[in-house]
Amino acid sequence: MSSPASPSIPPAASTEPRPRPHAWLRGAAPTAGLIVIGCALLLQVAIVVSGVDARLVPAVLGMVGALLIALGAYFGSASPIVREGSIVVDSPVRGRWQAVNSPASATPSHGLHTLGQTWAVDLIGIPDDRHRPVYGRTVTGYLPPTDFPGFGLPVHAVAAATVVARHDAEVDHKTRYSWDAILYMTVIEGFLRSIGGPRKMIGNHVVLRLDDGTFFTYGHLQRGSVRVNVGDRMRAGDVLAACGNSGNSSEPHLHVQRQDRSGATLATGLPWAIRGAGRGGRDGFPLNGENWVSE
């Protein structure tokens, strides 16, 4: 077990900060817009069935919903104000992994600033002793997660921290490992999951509060693998759970991010780096597609 990482930021108060400017528009507006549009559709059906002439009401609701979604998209793509500096922490994984959606290649790493993902990284486990299916070269893109070597690998606390949230009830679904499967996941499944909120997107997860007052979220964890409870005190290197394929995930991987609050909806992503994970052993992240061995 490694020694606790020491972020170079003074300890913070136990209360969470107020949401950043535009956080409500960035995080809550799209979901609210979908709900309003859904209500407009239901109201339109009720009007048709009842014969009441109130066609203007669902039309107005639909426009309001579309406006909320547009505002969410705009502020989700606009860079939030971040004054916190970066911190260097221990690796959340051990062994050989590959980075995708890495902040070393682009920020926001996942295309948007929503859900605190600005500096998030996805890590795919690829130990040397197991074969990983080749994308697009399987009979079907819907494979069991157990076919992938990263499924079930342990994930670790990046620093001394306290567990503030856990969720362990989402299923590990089949992978989305072909173009048609990815299209379904992006257009249909992702839309439905977004209506369900961050829990349906992130899947099984653990949220840690570091001693500097910022938070780390570990997402897409294996169902039944979360071994910590809210209030537990962690040391750097302690095992939290296992890599899974829950939530909005195309294949088993670990999603990790630093954010300013425990909940993802109004979170603003914060910069961070993994000790020794960058080019030449520098602190940072591997580039997209790069393999990296964490001791």
Q: What is the pTM of this model?
A: 0.81
Q: Is the pLDDT of residue 6 over 60?
A: no
Give dist(CA 132, CA 268) in Å, integer.
34
Residues 228-234: contacts with CB within 8 Å, 24+ apart?
228/163, 228/166, 229/163, 229/166, 230/163, 230/164, 230/165, 230/166, 231/162, 231/163, 232/162, 232/163, 233/160, 233/161, 233/162, 234/157, 234/160, 234/161, 234/162, 234/163, 234/208
22-36, 165-179, 187-201, 217-231: range with lowest mean pLDDT? 22-36
Q: What's the rounded mean pLDDT across residues 94-120?
A: 93
Under a CB-based contact definition with an 8 Å cutoff, are residues 179 and 136 in contact? Answer: yes
Residue 56 has phi, psi (to 5 degrees) of -70, -30
> Tokens at residue 267, please?
């979170």
Q: What's the rounded mean pLDDT across residues 147-160?
A: 97
CB atoms within 10 A of CB 267: 30
Residue that wins the pLDDT comparison between 80 and 133 = 133
State the chain's mean pLDDT as an integer: 85
Q: pLDDT band at 265, cuts 50/70/90?
A: confident
* pLDDT tens per residue across span 200-211: 999 999 999 999
User: Residue 62 half-sphere exposure, CB side, CA atoms within 13 Å?
Assistant: 10
* pLDDT tens per residue across span 237-261: 999 999 999 999 999 999 999 999 9
Highest mean pLDDT among 11-20, 22-31, 39-48, 186-195: 186-195
